[in-house]
Chain A
Amino acid sequence: MLDVPDLIPLISQILNGLLFGAYYVMIALGLSMIFSLGGIVNLAHGAFYAIGAYLAVTLAPHIGFGGALIASPLAVALIGLVIERYLLRRFYTADPILGLLLTFGLAMVAEQSLRILYGAAPVPFSIPQALRGQVFLGEFVYSRYRLMILGTAVLCVAGLWVLLAKTAFGKVVRAGVQNPDMVGALGISLKPYMTAVVMIGVGLAALAGVLIAPIAGVHPAMGQEIITFAFVVVVIGGLGSFWGVVAAACIVGVTRGVAAHFYPAATEASVYLLMVLVLLLRPRGLFGERIQKFE
């Protein structure tokens, strides 16, 4: 039987994991939406995240961190628009392997472009003065800046949920995920919706990149640090499930924290182990819906 004081470190890790999980949501939701509607597994998602971070570093001296927080995701969404319109669109009906190869290639091109433009060394960037400091909750300490990240993530999730669940736009997107042919038969073209979904998805990835830039190294390969994790979240949560992705991100965060507490060397590996377990016991993911076209 553990004493209560012994449990405090573990509880801190669980709380911290939940908070960081919220951050993964921003990256994983976009990935999940693009896959659910377009059938494209966007391996370049991490690249958009990295571009978002680099744009923040470039723009912040001119328009401030707040300005960069808005401008950088918008700029990346526009890049997403161009890429969807001229590249991704050709692959929705093609063999999925081709889409994989395309986005794999895009990720490499983006990473190398960043390396050519900014160099391979991490680019210096710090938390804005106004957001520095910590919040203490008994034994638990959290940075004020991370609370801001948490707030932003919650706003994004809420906004996206309203968009998908409560608007006409969302209805078409959800219908398109379930049965694109029927949507087409009703005379609705999914093309502009797909463009919008890609813009929102990569814009969210860029926003996550901006948010991480002050607290983690900004370097060309930073996208690789999160892309595999984002996939794991999507797989665990279940395809097509909005809340599944949200729940999975929190579970992944907590798993990481608990592993760090008991067996730190497995901090990252624990997440993959969790994925294997979920796939064995529930191949559709925790909250995966039955989607006709994926069966």
Chain B
Amino acid sequence: MPLDTSLSRRTILKASAGAAALGTLGAPAISYAQSEAIKLGHITPRTGFLGPLGEYAVQAMQLAVEEVNAAGGVNGRKIEVIYDDSPNPQQASAKAERLIQRDKISALIGEISSASALAIAQVVQREKVLFINTGANSDALRGSDCQRYMFHIEAQNSMYVKAVGRSLVANGLVTGKKWYSLTADYAFGHDLLNVAKRFMAGNNANHAGDDLIPTDLADFSPFLLKIRQARPDVVILNLAGTQITNFLKQYAEFGLTFPVAGFGFDTALAWGAGPGNFGGIWPALWHHLVDTPNSKKFVAAFNAKHRRPPENQAWGEYCSLKIIAQSMAETRSTDPTKIVEHFEKGAKFDVLKSRESYFRARDHQMMTEMYAITALPQAQVKNQWDIFSSSPPVPGPNESLEVIAATEEENKCVFRSA
């Protein structure tokens, strides 16, 4: 077996670079040509540490499109969605541009990564195309980086923190207590850490320390040792994607018993942790146990199609598509500028919750109810999905929906005139 003599150890170095590249290649766009149809674009991470959520996003989008088209479409036209994948901010921006210029989409829906959403926002603002952000949480996207053509059905970090924060305060985990945090080391995490510090300091909690966690970290043991040595009263997680699954599993493995709470959450990551591993108090923008007729209908339809309940990322795409369809019907137009004005006038939408929601005109954040969920003890868990109990909607029925959102002072948005 003679070997090629040109083989050198440089090959293995190149290979290491290749291995790193494995994670950054995206899938090609799939498009179905059809005239007459209203074209929309959907873009979200399908691989990498946010990939698990992207899959729910796409499945829910497909379900919503089927339902809208089965009901006759919008203004007599069918809706057609062109799907693409955004493994990193560079590709997110390039693909958004391609969808707009080549495919002439009327609106763009999707994204999960705050870094990618920021890149997309610049494209849609330049091209004057509506973008509904379904998964990026950074306050900055609704503040210093806000854009007139970008709206957010995904809650901002401030909403997540204040929604679950109420439960934490009520449980005596904040005031006068020592907290330790782990934070995802990218745009979302950095933004969330600032919001978390503001909330905790405002409630007289002491920060014992924070560790920035690389996004694809699989082994949390070094940080679990640090948490154990810090002996905090509560461990706060500003993590994202599969980081949350890895953390939950290893926190249980190391037998640490400090109370755990999260300021960012997606149900799929808790489902994926496995029996006995999910613990703590977490915020949720929506979950499959929300007890309204329309929510139950959505859960049943999604379950019938995919043999698993939808999670909050699925809710985001499903409602966004319905919101766009409803708004195009109400304005009898697909013109993005008209839709933007419609939203800004305070149009109300049913988003499967007990109260209708609307986009706040000054920062385009959807004002909507949230929930604090608490992991059930393992003995009370009856199946792999219903692993938590939920608080009633936050804010309560007699409060303004805005009380959990960032104030103008906390997160100021100035829309630059186009």
Asked whether B11 is an interface residue with its Cβ less than 8 Å from the other chain, the reply is yes
Cβ-based interface call for B416 (8 A): no
Please report the C-alpha to C-alpha distance between residue A214 and residue B249 in the assembled complex, in whole angstroms. Answer: 7
Chain B interface residue number, banded: 35 or more
Contact of B389 with A by CB under 8 A? no
- Which of A70-78, A152-160, A263-271 interfaces with chain B? A263-271
Do B2 and A228 touch across chains, with their CB atoms under 8 A apart?
no
Tell me if B382 is interfacial: C-beta within 8 Å of chain A.
no
**Digit string of B3-31 for contact with A (CB within 8 Å is 1, else 0)?**
11111110111111011101101000000
Of the candidates A46, A121, A231, which one forms a contact with B55 in the assembled complex, judged by CB atoms under 8 Å apart?
A: A121
- Whether A139 contacts B229 by the Cβ 8 Å rule is yes
**Of the residues A215, A227, A261, A279, contact of B249 by C-beta under 8 Å:** A215
User: Within the assembled complex, what's the spacing in Å between the Cα atoms of A12 and B223?
Assistant: 11
**Contact yes or no, A121 B225, CB < 8 A:** no
Judge if A95 is at the interface, Cβ distance under 8 Å. yes
A residues in contact with B276, CB < 8 Å: 126
B2, A100: Cβ atoms closer than 8 Å = no
The DSSP consensus for interface residues of chain A is helix
A103 CB → nearest B CB, Å: 9
CB–CB A184/B1 < 8 A: yes
Contact yes or no, B55 A222, CB < 8 A: no
Find B12's partner among A190, A227, A235, A256 (CB 8 Å cutoff): A235
Given contacts A41-B15, A224-B23, contact A122 B217 (CB under 8 A): no
Inter-subunit contact B253/A145 (CB<8 Å)? yes
Closest B residue to A125 by beta carbon equals: B274
Instruction: Tell me if B51 is interfacial: C-beta within 8 Å of chain A.
Output: yes
Q: Taking A43-B18, A222-B218 as contacts, is the C-beta distance between A261 and B226 under 8 angstroms? A: yes
Interface residue B376 (Cβ < 8 Å from any Cβ of A): no
How many of chain A's residues have a CB under 8 angstroms from any CB in B? 85
Task: Identify A133's interface contact among B51, B216, B255, CB under 8 A.
Answer: B255
Interchain CB contact under 8 A, A120 and B273: no
Question: Contacts A108-B25, A216-B218, A219-B52 given: A143-B255 contact, CB under 8 Å?
Answer: yes
CB interface residues, A 247-270, toward B, < 8 Å: 256-257, 260-261, 264-265, 267-269
Q: Quick one: closest A residue to B23, CB to CB?
A: A224
Residue of B nearest to A47 (CB): B22
Q: Which of A212, A221, A231, A235 contacts B23 (CB 8 A)?
A: A221
With a CB–CB cut-off of 8 A, which chain A residues contact B216? 224-225, 268
Q: Which residues of B are in contact with A by a Cβ distance under 8 Å?
A: 1-9, 11-16, 18-20, 22-23, 25, 46-49, 51-52, 54-56, 185, 211-214, 216-219, 221-223, 225-226, 228-229, 242, 245-246, 249-250, 252-255, 268-269, 271-277, 308, 384
In the complex, the 3 A-B pairs of residues with the closest C-beta atoms, listed nearest first = A122-B272, A260-B222, A217-B245
Write 23 A-B pairs (CB below 8 A) sorted by A numbering. A9-B226, A9-B229, A17-B222, A41-B11, A94-B4, A108-B25, A119-B52, A119-B55, A120-B52, A121-B272, A122-B271, A123-B272, A124-B272, A127-B253, A143-B253, A145-B253, A146-B221, A215-B249, A217-B246, A224-B216, A261-B222, A267-B213, A283-B9
